[in-house]
């Protein structure tokens, strides 16, 4: 076989959310920093072609992400990575950080030490400390010390054609989120409502980004609301979440960066303090433990440093390749599986 390109993928999921890790064949990504590499992937035609090759059909699927392992730029980092999804490359993710940590340790790329191994991950949003509990050659769970998270604006009112005025908290947890109490759209967070939740999320994301541009004050490569996360508070204090993602799907995990953003809102409203720990549950019932590790500032804004704890599981090893005669090197998406917005690709 005379393939033009081959990339090896270790298949991993974190509490149900797929985060494949490209452990071999990753081409050199230009950029002096990981943020610059993120910008190149999102703006250069060659970077966009790489993302499409891995994330769109026939090699990809609407669910999950592909994490590009990269040589670290920071002297303290063990590895760097950037998250590829069908819409764009993203700066940070809790579930994908768990997947990458699990992949690094269980593949032997980073030496596993029992009972605990600390792995420092470099993302476009900054360094993430991953503390892995290890036993019998397996990564049992990962506790992430995330990048500082902060509130951009609370209780932003959005005029919608479907639900009237909706209030959202616009917050940063490694990427920007719009956090919406799910009762405002007369829904609950459960499996049966996944399709209508993601339809609502896509509508709200478009409205918010059209009327309220946001840019990280210190990292210009991170801009725009990436996801709408619906939230609900259960009787026992558990935060139930549904993060909605392009082209119209629900995050299967409780969402690490989303819960980091939500933690910033709890702190801003006086509902969380340093040392607090609570549980977050996803639409499929999987769980993360969320903690408030410390407080800090970002460009003069109050910020929190969250911790996210969850589990990663390897489930396969694969290799994707490009036949030089393949008529679909950039991939494709159809509305039958990918939803109405697939027509934009």
* Residue 255 appears among annotated catalytic residues: yes
- As a whole number of angstroms, the distance between CA 239 and CA 280 comes to 5
Within the chain, strands assigned E span: 5-14, 17-24, 65-70, 79-84, 89-90, 116-123, 126-135, 138-145, 149-160, 164-172, 176-181, 225-233, 239-245, 249-250, 277-281, 287-298, 301-310, 312-322
CB 155 within 8 A of CB 170: no
From residue 180, alpha-carbon distances to 40, 66, 174, 194 in Å are 31, 27, 18, 15
Residue of 92, 93, 107, 286 marked catalytic: 93
139 is catalytic: no
Q: What is the dihedral of CA 69, 71, 75, 80, to 10 degrees?
A: -20
Residue with tokens 């006086």: 270
From the candidates 255, 260, 280, 282, give the one annotated as an active-site residue. 255
- CA 263, 264, 268, 269 torsion-angle sign: negative
Question: What are 8's two structure tokens?
Answer: 């090896």
Q: How far apart are CA 155 and CA 184, in angstroms?
A: 13
Q: Which sequence positions are flagged as catalytic?
A: 93, 255
């Amino acid at each position: 076989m005379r393939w033009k390109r081959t990339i090896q993928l270790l298949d991993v999921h974190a509490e149900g959310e797929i985060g494949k890790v490209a452990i071999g064949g990753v081409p050199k990504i230009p950029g002096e920093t990981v943020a610059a590499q993120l910008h190149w992937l999102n703006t250069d035609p060659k970077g966009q072609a790489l993302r499409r090759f891995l994330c769109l059909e026939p090699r990809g699927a609407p669910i999950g992400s592909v994490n590009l392992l990269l040589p670290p730029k920071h002297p303290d980092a063990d590895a760097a990575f950037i998250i590829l999804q069908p819409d764009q490359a993203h700066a940070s993710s809790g579930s994908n950080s768990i997947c990458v940590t699990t992949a690094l340790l269980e593949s032997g790329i980073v030496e596993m030490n029992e009972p605990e191994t600390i792995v420092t991950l470099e993302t476009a949003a900054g360094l993430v400390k991953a503390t892995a509990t290890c036993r019998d050659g397996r990564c049992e769970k990962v506790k992430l010390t995330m990048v500082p998270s902060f509130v951009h604006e609370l209780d932003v009112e959005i005029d919608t054609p479907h639900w009237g005025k909706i209030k959202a908290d616009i917050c940063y947890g490694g990427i920007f989120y719009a956090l919406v109490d799910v009762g405002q759209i007369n829904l609950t967070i459960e499996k049966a409502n996944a399709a209508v939740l993601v339809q609502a999320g896509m509508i709200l994301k478009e409205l918010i980004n059209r009327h309220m541009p946001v840019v990280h004050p210190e990292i210009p490569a991170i801009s725009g609301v990436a996801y709408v996360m619906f939230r609900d508070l259960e009787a026992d204090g558990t935060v139930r979440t549904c993060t909605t993602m392009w082209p119209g799907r629900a995050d299967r995990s409780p969402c690490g960066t989303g819960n980091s953003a939500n933690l910033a809102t709890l702190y801003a409203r006086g509902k969380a303090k340093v040392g607090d720990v609570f549980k977050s549950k996803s639409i499929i019932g999987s769980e993360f433990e969320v903690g408030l590790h410390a407080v800090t500032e970002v460009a003069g804004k109050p910020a929190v440093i969250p911790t996210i704890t969850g589990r990663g599981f390897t489930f396969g090893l694969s290799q994707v390749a490009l036949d030089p005669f393949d008529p679909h090197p950039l991939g494709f998406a159809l509305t039958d599986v990918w939803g109405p917005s697939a027509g934009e690709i």
